Structure 1
Amino acid sequence: MSTNRSRTSGFTLVELLVVIAIIGVLVGLLLPAVQAAREAARRMSCSNNFKQIGLGLHNYHSAYKQLPLHGAGTMSPTIDYAWRSSDICNVERLSFLVGITPFIEQQSLWEQISNPRDNNGGTPAIWPAMGPTPQQISYSPWATDIPTLRCPSDPGRGLPALGRTNYAACMGDSAERTTTGAWRDNGTVGSLPNEVLAEESRAAHRGVFVMHKQMKFRDILDGLSNTICAGEIATDLGDKDKRTINLNIGWNFLRNRAPTYCRDMPQDYVDPLRPQFWRATAPVVGATDGRGYRWADGFSNFSAMFTMLPPNQELCTQQNAGNPGVYPPSSRHQGGVHILMSDGAVKFITDSIEAGTAASGGTASYPIFRWRRPGDASPYGLWGALGTRANKEVIQEEL
């Protein structure tokens, strides 16, 4: 008589540990690839958003024979300066993004903005058509996040920002008078009459967009495919990233300085352990004044960029975020930023783009607040040439 003995098969403890180790190694190898694939998808989505904005700009120009006004809106005769706050008008401070809302599938939002709006028992009882100044949080259109204006790679959400934007108007290679632009207010600035300010604006503002001035494609004499119309910006996360929060160096200290002034100051406000960030003790602007925090606000900090310093360099302003300053484009993508050319093409520009000796603070440095002589070549190399609309610079490189 024979006895059948049953034997239970399975993994030994050693075999199980080996299998777990192999799985761990495979996950470790695959995870960077998965993350890279996700970022590539986000970057493509960001580019598509920018293309949508470009189409909106061209459709707007086709409908109205001009680009949307940067610095548009309503005015009260009691307002004497462009930076005043108001609940009865928006002090002609609206960004170009407000004008294109009907052209980027935001018709319902445009109708809320363009008509008087109930304030739900607040003061004033009725918001005016085109809204108050853009910092007013109680006016819900200004606090609305528009998906087309957001880059998926940017994690910034919620307060202290209102509605954020990752896309900003290109205003050229000079920060002179960019708060007032071509606007003739009821007073003077620094004892200078409005006629002098307007003359300085005409000479200094060489980008596709000029604050308070009607611009058309015919003004872009260098060619639509050779001129930057808008650039990408990263929004602030409250971490003192020097690309997204301004170093505040006080009133008038940026005049006659090179664009690298905030980087080269003897106080050395850059954190040596985290070179992309300001020190914890560095004087920065207020928490509500982060980069891109108000999509509807035409001030440079919120919806504009310049071609002085290359992409992803530090922000620097005098006194507060409502003043002119150094505002390069920035992004959460690796190595560069998206830019929108005036012909609607979206390009990726690397941080290492040639920007001349002026941008690096060399002996040929050019003051960021000095207005240019009309027609002068940009002192900021290829980068500056791409940002100016009518200087007859020849672009010989493929972007």
Structure 2
Amino acid sequence: MTTKKTLKPRGFTLVELLVVIAIIGVLVGLLLPAVQAAREAARRMSCSNNFKQIGLGMHNYHSAYNQLPIQGTGTRASGGNRWWADKDDGNLHRLSFLVGITPFIEQQALWEQLSNPMLGRTDGSTTNNPGGTIPWPALGPTPAQVQYIPWATELPGYRCPSDPGTGLPSLGRTNYAACLGDSIVQSASGFIDVRGERGTAYETNEYYSTRTRASARGTFVSLKSMRFRDILDGLANTIAAGEIATDLGDKDKRTSFPQAAGTVLSESVIRDNPSVCQDDPTPLVDPARPQFWHSDTPIDSSIRARGFRWADAMPAFSSCFTILPPNRESCTYAPDSNNRAAWTSGTYGVTSRHQGGAHVLMGDGAVKFVTDSIEAGDSRAGMVYYDKTSGPQSPGSQSPYGLWGSLGTRASREVISEEF
């Protein structure tokens, strides 16, 4: 009599299990970059759509008021009206173009808060003034006031999904900035007499208006009403706004500003060489990590950083220039006694968290992606300004920054003969 043997089911050996795990790991490693690329493509598309909506808001604003929203508008305050001051009873004409278009981008509720006196503070206090028992004024205080709820409000339509920046020390962030052209001269002060700051010998309408007209060559001019008819180069050939990356506190040279900028001690130094922060012998830029400032370079750690205030018209926060090509450094100069420099004037360019370039909004509403390698002329050539009576820096000259600079100027009569 024979006895049948029962065969036990055979399991995986340790070697077989390790092989299977290794194969799965290889497949995940192969698929992960593709998944990440697909996610970034979706974020980039969403970013482009946000910019498109801003463009439509600008055009609808122009249709309603026969002008573009002003970059640098608002109300005066009691006492001094210096643009770098902080006031609770007025905003010193510091409001950006992004404030004006809120009713045209489905933010009517926010505009109602802005355009009327209101009570309320971000800290919830009902006793501290103003905003506690005394209402904030219509159009709010200066945009640095953290207790004013609208200024601390983050608007998804003003944010690029690829930019992870969030939270304090910033207020409501923006990744989209008005294009002021190819010269930083007079970019912060603009037509300063609107703020009522006249009183000294040079603070007159004639002094500022003549100098601003010479150097402010972009679609937007600080404190000045602009219209589509002013863009003589054509809306399709002129950048109206550019994308900007916001600061993450990591000393990124595109988004943070040196507090003591080596030999860069005045605006005129940058005016005559936009690449001076890169050339400085200190050095300011870290040679081992060229995308960042050197570890020894002190950075202004307050809320003065790129894109930190969507409502603030100061160039550091919501403006850009077509001087240095996309994703180059934000070159500023050492602050003066009023600590104005590192947030009012500098080569604040077009930057992004996307790979290889950044978006721009053209005057006709089209959104285009500009690569870092766009033809940008001589990055060490001096900028155009009023007091230069001859040569390539004199008023009316073509942009020294090639195709990139030409796209940023509204009426320099350059012919755009190539795709970008």
Equivalent pairs counted in the alignment come to 394
Determine if the alignment matches structure 1 residue 134 to structure 2 residue 143: yes
Residue 111 of structure 1 pairs with residue 126 of structure 2? no
In 2: Cα distance, 1:224 partner to 1:334 partner: 27
Deviation string, structure 1 residues 92-121 (Cα, Å, up to 9, x no partner): 000000000111111111111111011433
SS at match of 2:168: coil
What SS class does the counterpart of residue 317 from structure 1 fall into? coil
Structure 2 residue 294 is the aligned partner of structure 1 residue 279: yes
Query: Is 1:17 equivalent to 2:25 in the alignment?
Result: no
Partner of residue 327 from structure 1, selected from 348, 368, 373:
348
Residue of 151, 163, 166 corresponding to 1:157: 166
Judge conservation of contact 1:247–1:262 (CA < 8 Å) in 2: no
1:244 corresponds to:
255
Question: Aligned partners of 1:383, 1:108: CA distance in 2, in Å?
Answer: 38
Amino acid aligned to 1:313:
R
Please name the residue that 2:85 is paired with: 84
Classify 1:188/1:237 alpha carbon distance in 2 versus 1 (closer, same or farther; 3 Å).
farther
Consecutive unaligned residues of structure 2, counting only runs of 5 or more, are: 121-125, 336-340, 388-392
Number of the residue aligned with 2:180: 171
Which residue of the partner structure matches residue 65 of structure 1? Answer: 66
Deviation of 1:56 (Å): 0.7
For residue 233 of structure 1, what is the aligned residue in structure 2? 244
Shift of 1:6: 3.3
- Within a 5 Å distance, the mapping from 1:246-265 to structure 2 comes to 246-248=257-259, 249=261, 251-252=265-266, 254-255=268-269, 256-265=271-280
Aligned residue identity for 2:398: A
Distance 1:194 1:251, change over 3 A: farther
Amino acid at match of 2:408: G
- Once residues 231 and 286 of structure 1 are traced to their aligned partners in structure 2, the CA distance between those partners, rounded to angstroms, is 24
Residue equivalent to 2:376:
355
In structure 2, what is the Cα distance between the partners aligned to 1:55 and 1:330? 22
How far apart are residue 9 of structure 1 and its match?
2.9
1:292 aligned onto 2:307: yes
- The counterpart of 1:366, out of the listed 376, 382, 396, is 382
Structure 2 length-normalised TM: 0.90
SS of residue matched to 1:247 = coil
- Distance change in 2, residues 1:287/1:81 (3 Å): closer
In structure 1, what is the Cα distance between the partners aligned to 2:247 and 2:386?
A: 28
RMSD: 1.7
Query: Is 1:196 the equivalent of 2:207?
Result: yes
Give the 3-state SS of the residue equivalent to 1:338 in structure 2: strand
After alignment, is 186-195 or 4-13 more displaced? Answer: 186-195
What letter is aligned with 1:41? A
- Contact 2:215 2:384 (C-alpha < 8 Å) held by counterparts: no
- TM-score w.r.t. length of structure 1: 0.95
Contact 1:228 1:339 (8 Å CA) reproduced:
yes
Partners of 2:330 and 2:346 within 8 A in 1: yes
Segments of structure 1 that go 5 or more residues without pairing to the other structure are none
Deviations 1:306-348 (A, max 9, x none): 0100010001123233321111110000000000000000000
Tell me the residue number matched to 2:338: none
1:154 alignment partner AA: D
Match of 1:395, as an amino acid? Answer: I
1:211 aligned partner: 222
Change (3 A) 1:6 1:58: same
